[in-house]
Structure 1
Amino acid sequence: MSEDVVTTGWDAIEEQMVNIYGAQEPKHYGTMISYELGGHDPLDGISVYKAEQPFPHWHFVTFGFSELYEKESEDTDYSGFGFELTFRLTREEHEEEPPAWALNLLQNMGRYVFSSGNVLAAGDYLDANGPICLESDTKLTALVFIEDAELPAIHTPNGRVEFVQMIGMTEDELEAIKTWNTLKMLDACQVMMPGYITNLSRDSMLQVPVIAEAVQCGIERDGSNTGFLFVDQLSWEPGKNRLLTKTPAVLTLGAKQAGTVAKLIRGRLLKGKELTLSSQDLRVILAPGEETRCESGEKEVRLTLDTAAAAELSQIMQPQESVLMLSTYKGLTIQVVKTYIRDQNGQVVSTIG
């Protein structure tokens, strides 16, 4: 860093890491060309430390989600996006360099945040739609986020910065999180995941009977904490009046989300809570009520389901291409269509439904 450049935000992050690792010199991976000048990597740098407890692992910390230099944003409470990411990854005794894929993953998270503006916080989750380590056979295909236990939030001259730890999770663990609660799910797994260190070779925690039982009991007791679900494939066609009949309205969604939505209906509507499905162009609000009815506008639909309709829909909706009719309500048809999973090059790698 040049002495002429104000680095108060950067220095505050490094000071926190010194509190943990003392004089250890981290592996630091900087960005040659800044993102603002057309560079490919949005983060200014990533430092990686060798941690020994509770067992050997790499501890990554990003520099770039917060304001590292002079204050530029108008928000005086938070520095930039208000957080930096950390990531803990198992380390073999002989390893001297952290794996490049993990650095790329953190930069990809930077691209996601910078392009979407979505702030990552404890309790959030993301579906990677494939292995978090590309071209590997890991079962970890999702990411969840929690406060890094060793790094409390700091107050810098540029505002507050929280340290949010990223954790790799399996597909069925993500499904459990959606239908229950991120932090409660992680708490149930804590004994088997000390430090929430990501291990690419592990199996699903739901294979452990005591964890599976705790998760199922939690879902039945608490319902789901997921009140909002982004759905790529989502459309609505209002019912039409004909000469002697009226055609039902049609709600269309992808097979990938259908199974999740069915579980969320059980965990939300049948617990007296609303569920919002959202795509780029449409919001569908599923709400519990005494009478089933549809109210639709140009870009928003409110579908109120009574207990019988909600229970029936949660039972019949599956991640399989189909056309579903409710016996409890004739004014609605649900169409489940195939979901095509594509890689970064746009090629279809799998089909659901």
Structure 2
Amino acid sequence: MKNEEEEQAYGWDAIDQSLSTLYGDFEPKHYGTLIPYELGGHDPLKGISAYAVNEPLPHWHFVTYGFTELYEKESEDPDISGYGFELTFRLMRQSGEEEPPAWALNLLQNMGRYVFNSGNVFRPGDYLDANGPICLQAETELTALAFIQDPALSLRETPNGRMEFIQMLGITADELEAMQVWNTIGVLESAVKYIPCFITDLERESVMHIPEVQEKVQDGMENDGSSTGFLFVDQLGWEPGKKSLFRRTPAILTLGAKQAAAAGKLLTGRIPKHRELTFAGRELTVQFRAGDTSGWSEENGKVTISLDQSAVEEISGKLEPKKGQIILTSIPNLSIHIIETKIKDQDGHVVKVIG
């Protein structure tokens, strides 16, 4: 597993020790990287192990090697090893399947590329919209990922600093929306008996059709509000209103249809509790906040929209994933333009149109 030229594999040994405590001498399937990423290789992770587990259901338990410092300490923070985590992923194992599917290994390496290239790290409670099936070769409703502490692997102190094992879970679009309007951990804990050990099953249906889960999510949203204060919105635009001698045209906020429905629920879960909500586009930031009166202001590429309760109710009631113009009576100088969202695959082909 290890590079034999490395004498002190502190981080690698720490991961091995955690897995040895869990699985004893059971030998996993291990997939190493031939050409290091820093030398031009395509895969940033040094390796991925896959354990064939039978309880509570037959599944593969993947564990990465490479987000933490596997050998000598290199980063300046003595308390954290590398990015501070390794990813795990539990995937339903098919009958007679002796090798883990390649797409799962590729998915984990893609997560590595995302972190290594962006510097963004995953933490329990995060989510990530894949904008399409997490396995392109399968007909599956799972189009996003949620992240939670691996239930079988605890935080560990290593000579290179602290690290934790964060488990990925494939989720559906409406489960993602529920996590946005409430919070990831709450939704997952509400559904744990329907998703044992948070095993990803490409064939499963959404748990949001289960009345018990629906009720818990609704109660959580009403009591706690939404934990999502910042959302990247790919389709986001702003056109200031124009004023002439005889007429004033309203400003236009443009949103993609994919974000429209969730945006209304997010406003309901944030603004009445006096929590701000920020949409960030490539060149524009729009921040919603609670106010005694409704209106908007613009300065240096940032738009601030104040909403009273009547405006929140009107916007959340009218926002739908359907293209068109929404005229607001609660904010006469603002309208919302919903445009189509085109979902594309990795080759750039449109696979779905929303709106």
| Residue aligning to 1:311 | 313
Match of 1:49 among 51, 64, 69: 51
Kindly indicate whether residue 207 of structure 2 is the aligned counterpart of residue 216 of structure 1: no
Q: Which amino acid in the other structure matches residue 121 of structure 1?
A: R
- Aligned counterparts of 2:8 and 2:255: Cα–Cα separation in 1: 50
- Aligned counterparts of 2:14 and 2:155: Cα–Cα separation in 1: 11
| Structure 1 residue 6 displacement after superposition | 2.8
| Residue aligning to 2:29 | 27
Cα deviation, 1:121-153, whole Å, max 9, x if unaligned, reads: 100001111111112111111110000111111
Q: 2:147 aligns to what SS in structure 1?
A: strand
Q: Which amino acid in the other structure matches residue 175 of structure 2?
A: E
Runs of 4+ aligned residues of structure 1 deviating over 6 Å after TM superposition are: none
- Aligned counterparts of 1:251 and 1:163: Cα–Cα separation in 2: 40
Report if the CA contact (8 A) 1:45-1:62 is conserved. Answer: yes
Report if the CA contact (8 A) 1:270-1:311 is conserved. Answer: no
| Residue aligning to 1:263 | 265
Report if the CA contact (8 A) 2:6-2:71 is conserved. Answer: no
Note the residue ranges of structure 2 that are not aligned, 5 or more in a row: none
- Aligned counterparts of 2:77 and 2:303: Cα–Cα separation in 1: 34
CA RMSD of aligned residues (A): 1.3
Residues 176-325 of structure 1: matches in 2 within 5 Å? 176-325=178-327
| Structure 1 residue 79 displacement after superposition | 1.1
| Residue aligning to 1:114 | 116
Residues 124-135 of structure 1: matches in 2 within 5 Å? 124-135=126-137
Note the residue ranges of structure 1 that are not aligned, 5 or more in a row: none
- Aligned counterparts of 2:256 and 2:195: Cα–Cα separation in 1: 33
| Residue aligning to 2:12 | 10
| Structure 1 residue 100 displacement after superposition | 1.0
- Aligned counterparts of 1:182 and 1:3: Cα–Cα separation in 2: 42
Q: Which amino acid in the other structure matches residue 196 of structure 2?
A: P
Cα deviation, 1:40-61, whole Å, max 9, x if unaligned, reads: 1111100111222222211100
Q: Which amino acid in the other structure matches residue 141 of structure 1?
A: T
Q: Which amino acid in the other structure matches residue 118 of structure 1?
A: N
| Structure 1 residue 3 displacement after superposition | 4.1
Q: Structure 1 residues 158 and 272 mapped into 2: Cα distance closer, same or farther (>3 Å)? A: same
- Aligned counterparts of 1:77 and 1:245: Cα–Cα separation in 2: 61
Report if the CA contact (8 A) 2:124-2:149 is conserved. Answer: yes
Q: 1:341 aligns to what SS in structure 2?
A: strand
- Aligned counterparts of 1:12 and 1:23: Cα–Cα separation in 2: 15
Report if the CA contact (8 A) 1:224-1:268 is conserved. Answer: yes
Q: 2:248 aligns to what SS in structure 1?
A: coil
Percent identity, aligned pairs only, is 56
Q: 1:330 aligns to what SS in structure 2?
A: coil
- Aligned counterparts of 1:114 and 1:188: Cα–Cα separation in 2: 32
Q: Which amino acid in the other structure matches residue 178 of structure 1?
A: Q
When the two structures are superposed, what TM-score results if normalisation uses the length of structure 1? 0.97
Report if the CA contact (8 A) 2:145-2:170 is conserved. Answer: yes
- Aligned counterparts of 2:12 and 2:301: Cα–Cα separation in 1: 43
- Aligned counterparts of 1:266 and 1:169: Cα–Cα separation in 2: 23
When the two structures are superposed, what TM-score results if normalisation uses the length of structure 2? 0.96
Residues 42-191 of structure 1: matches in 2 within 5 Å? 42-191=44-193
Match of 2:337 among 335, 338, 341: 335
Structure 1 stretch displaced more, 71-80 or 313-322 = 71-80
